[in-house]
Amino acid sequence: MMHAFPRTFTMPMQRGERAATASAAPLTPAGYIRLRREAAGLSVRTVAGMLTRNATDAVVAFDLINALETLGNTARRPETLEALRSIFPLDPDVYRQLTSDPADSHPRICRGCGCSHWDPCTSDEHAACAWVTDTACTACLPDTAPVECCQ
């Protein structure tokens, strides 16, 4: 008898799809950390392991990263952001603005990967990404012609 496996997993949303379907809601500091981590292709567990030297510390770091990626939470100490930044690209200044500035003065951030003006995507082919839309960069929507080069 044929047996069909149920689809019990969900595929992670691709960055292009996420950039194209981004809501207009302001990006939160928690959402920003998660975008930057996922754009680097790293799991929370991997980052926690890279931050620490032993399994006990890795558990603490795992909980900390999950907390930072939970809506409403923000990093209290700059050292935390600097530690994360040593593992994957993120801009502490963008984080600070998302934390403390009103939404209408937030920096422009790609909703597919979290890159921004001072923290662009780079590849072998292109020096840095450019903006395709207000909320998407050329690295996330490569098939769309950039409307403006701002890097």
CB of 19 to Zn ion, least distance (A): 6
Residues present in the chain in total: 151
Stretch that binds Zn ion, among 41-49, 99-107, 120-128, 142-150 (CB under 5 A): 120-128
User: Contact with Zn ion (CB under 5 A): which of 61, 68, 90, 115?
Assistant: 115
Structure tokens at 116: 């921004």
x/- map, 42-81, Zn ion, by CB under 5 A: ----------------------------------------
Scan residues 82-111 and list those touching Zn ion (CB under 5 A): 110
φ, ψ for residue 71, nearest 5 deg:
-50, 130
- Rounded to whole angstroms, how far apart are CA atoms 95 and 141? 23
What is each CA distance from 135 to 75, 101, 108, 112, in whole angstroms? 24, 18, 7, 8
x/- map, 126-145, Zn ion, by CB under 5 A: ---x-------x-xx-----
